[in-house]
Amino acid sequence: MASSRTSHDVIVVGLGGMGSAAAYHLAARGRRVLGLERFGPAHNLGSSHGGSRIYRQAYFEDPAYVPLLLRAHELWEKLAADSGREVFTEIGGLMIGREHSAAFAGTLRSAHEWGLDHEVLGAADIRRRFPTFNPAPEDVAFYERRAGIALPEATVTAHLDLARAHGAELHFAETVLGWEADGPGGKARVVTDCGAYTADRLVIAPGAWAPTLLSGLGVSVSVERQVMYWFQPVGGTRPFRPDRHPVYIWEDPDGTQIYGFPSLDGPEGGAKVAFFRKGVPSDPDTLDRRIHRDEIAAMADHLRPRIPTLPGRFLKAAACMYANTPDEHFVLAQHPEHPQVTVACGFSGHGFKFVPVVGEILADLATEGTTEHPIALFDPRRARV
């Protein structure tokens, strides 16, 4: 087995959404960075793919997320300017449900707590403003103008390009087999199928491979298979263009949620939609990437009464993964037993919108041991309380 002869300040394990952002922020601060990724750059075998992710600021999961979302917006603008890539666009977003649903009531609570600009729409208002939707008379919606679309592949590519431009050494098609850390103040070591590396600090952002690489963290992370679908609407995509059709999350009275997007690929493209959660437990190394007819039928049947023209013709689908913690909050902290190791995992299906700020937080923790960002909610020790 070969060993690295190059000295590194920080090793970053995993170069998906979070890891690529961390590699960039660390390299931009002058750190000598080695990034390790088991697949290729901006690949479609984990969780950071599928062409689009929803960005929203009023957050029904917990108001504590809002300051991070505001900072993420600033950093997405900076990333676009620095990279010259389109990585994010505002188009507005709807959170639809009954008055006491998490999608509506939780979002409204978050907006009130942080003074976020919004509108509340009744069912008739929803139909008039956004005629592709067919809400029930009891449905209401929270409309957020600053919601929008983050582009996962473009975001990862931009962060990787900028990390490399700042001197980061990035290795692809290299699988991490294990890691260890000395006592406080000591080094961290990583072993891969190609070599062994040592650095002062280690950042681990393994996505769906957290159950293997972070098994001793003290927080259970489970992996769930999810499917994203693209349909070509009846009558064409014009009513589903981004200037007419917002991003959305729609919650039923039984708690079932779907989320979706406008058509982003022109007249011949489709609109993307998926169930939020409702996945099946999976192993990332043996994930079923086939899409089954009954899955497509279930999605189309769910859409017809709510967005009647959307399930016109099925175009394609893709499987991805959620890495879930029991409380569905992130893990973002220094490792409880190894202060030279920083961890980021368990983003539970709602993490990509935080990618730029998570990269900044990981760089803070790896270089300073602390961050000014509010991350107490994401301490892995919460599971032991």
pLDDT of residue 60: 97
CA distance 25 to 31: 9
In the numeric block, which tokens belong to residue 366?
Answer: 């790896």
Q: What percent of the chain has pLDDT over 90?
A: 93
Residue type, 74: E
Q: Virtual CA dihedral for 332, 11, 359, 261, nearest 10 degrees?
A: -90
pLDDT at 6 over 60: no
In the numeric block, which tokens belong to residue 239?
Answer: 């009513």
pLDDT at 116 over 50: yes
Q: Virtual CA dihedral for 146, 149, 152, 157, nearest 10 degrees?
A: -70
Of the ranges 59-63, 134-138, 183-187, 370-374, which one carries the lowest mean pLDDT score?
Answer: 183-187
pLDDT at 340 over 70: yes
pLDDT at 358 over 80: yes
* Residue 243 banded pLDDT, cuts 50, 70, 90: very high
Backbone dihedral angles phi then psi of residue 137, each to the nearest 5 degrees: -55, -30
Of the ranges 113-127, 150-164, 256-270, 317-331, which one carries the lowest mean pLDDT score?
Answer: 256-270
CA distance 66 to 280: 29
State mean pLDDT over 352-377.
98
CA distance 282 to 380: 23
- Residue where the block lists tokens 């990509």: 352
Nearest to residue 307, comparing CAs of 130, 50, 129, 54?
Answer: 130
Nearest to residue 15, comparing CAs of 45, 35, 33, 44?
Answer: 35
CA distance 230 to 226: 14
pLDDT of residue 7: 78
Higher pLDDT, residue 6 or 188: 188
Q: Residue 65: helix, strand or coil by DSSP? A: helix
Backbone dihedral angles phi then psi of residue 150, each to the nearest 5 degrees: -100, 140
Q: Residue 24: helix, strand or coil by DSSP? A: helix
pLDDT at 44 over 90: yes
CA distance 313 to 289: 21
pLDDT at 24 over 70: yes
List % helix, strand, coil for the chain (3-state, nearest 5). Answer: 30, 30, 40
C-alpha 105: how far from chain center: 23
Q: What is the DSSP letter of 286?
A: S
pLDDT of residue 104: 98
State mean pLDDT over 19-31.
98
pLDDT of residue 331: 97
Give the domains, in start order, of the chain with CATH numbers.
8-48+153-221+327-378 (3.50.50.60), 93-145+222-324 (3.30.9.10)
Q: How confident is the model over 189-203, as pLDDT tens digits?
A: 999 999 999 999 999
Q: What percent of the chain has pLDDT over 70?
A: 98
- Per the rule left: phi > 0, alpha: psi between -120 and 50, beta: everything else, 115 is left
Nearest to residue 283, comparing CAs of 192, 193, 222?
Answer: 222
Mean pLDDT over all residues of the chain?
95
Q: How confident is the model over 141-160, as pLDDT tens digits?
A: 999 999 999 999 999 999 99
CA distance 231 to 376: 40
Backbone dihedral angles phi then psi of residue 72, each to the nearest 5 degrees: -60, -40
Nearest to residue 332, comparing CAs of 172, 170, 219, 237?
Answer: 219
pLDDT at 87 over 80: yes
State mean pLDDT over 285-292.
97
Burial of 300 (0-12, 13-18, 19+ CB in 10 A): middle
